[in-house]
Amino acid sequence: MDRKLKLAVFASHGGTDLQSIIDAAKHPTYPAEIALMVSNNKKAFAVERARNAGIPTVMWQRKRFDTDDDYVGFMTDKLKEYEIELICLAGYMKIIPARIVRAFKIINIHPALLPQHGGKGMYGLHVHEAVLRAGDKVTGVTVHEVNEIYDNGKILAQARVEVKPEDTPESLQKRVLEVEHKIYPETIAKIARGEIILDG
């Protein structure tokens, strides 16, 4: 097997998307590996998932640093130390500073078909509530590059999920998550194999 693409996964809460990448990476032919997990929330179950998988984990909170420069510099140094080639946001609830966006390749997974239902405040159940309010018949999942504008980067992959008449935000979220857990590891693998080329 050729050298594997080194990933950093950033997560703030449950970490189910992180787990999907951990599980995919267990296969010997998977072309990427998680070299670092980053969270802003020490109580996140994502942290437990990473530690259980033996993945180095770093807490990154602005309040721990005197200046923005120190905050950004700390993470820049960590990403370089672990030779990170791709950052994967997986339910990460903080804005990535512009200096890091410009310096590293970053992708994100969003629980809707962008450009619909994206932007500030559109995360978690809020997205599914918006889909149901809009009366959409179809929603889905988008994997996209990250730039300095919310949910605005180049779309790399999408998958559709039917909206059922009886859906609640919770039931819709559950079905969308099942698709997320398939499409995110698949898209990362395509990037690692050079089948998807990133602009960043």
For 42-83, write each residue's pLDDT tens digit: 999 999 999 999 999 999 999 999 999 999 999 999 999 999
Query: Exactly one of 13, 110, 144, 181 is catalytic; which is it?
Result: 110
pLDDT of residue 122: 92
Give the pLDDT confidence score for residue 141 in this predicted structure: 98
126 has pLDDT over 90: yes
181 is catalytic: no
Where b means 16+ CB within 10 Å and e means fewer, 142-162 reads bbbbbbeebbebeebbbbebe
Give the residue carrying structure tokens 């259980």: 52
- Per-domain residue ranges for the chain? 1-104
Question: How much is the average pLDDT of 158-166?
Answer: 98
- Helix residue spans in 83-124 (DSSP H): 98-103
Give the three-state DSSP class for 144: strand
Instruction: Please tell me the predicted confidence (pLDDT) of residue 75.
Output: 98
Q: Cβ(87)–Cβ(153) under 8 Å? A: no
pLDDT band at 193 (very low <50, low <70, confident <90, very high): very high
Q: What is the DSSP letter of 134?
A: H
Instruction: Report the distance separating Cα 92 and Cα 3, nearest Å.
Output: 27
Give this prediction's pTM.
0.95
- pLDDT at residue 148 in the model: 87
Fold of 1-104: Rossmann fold (3.40.50)
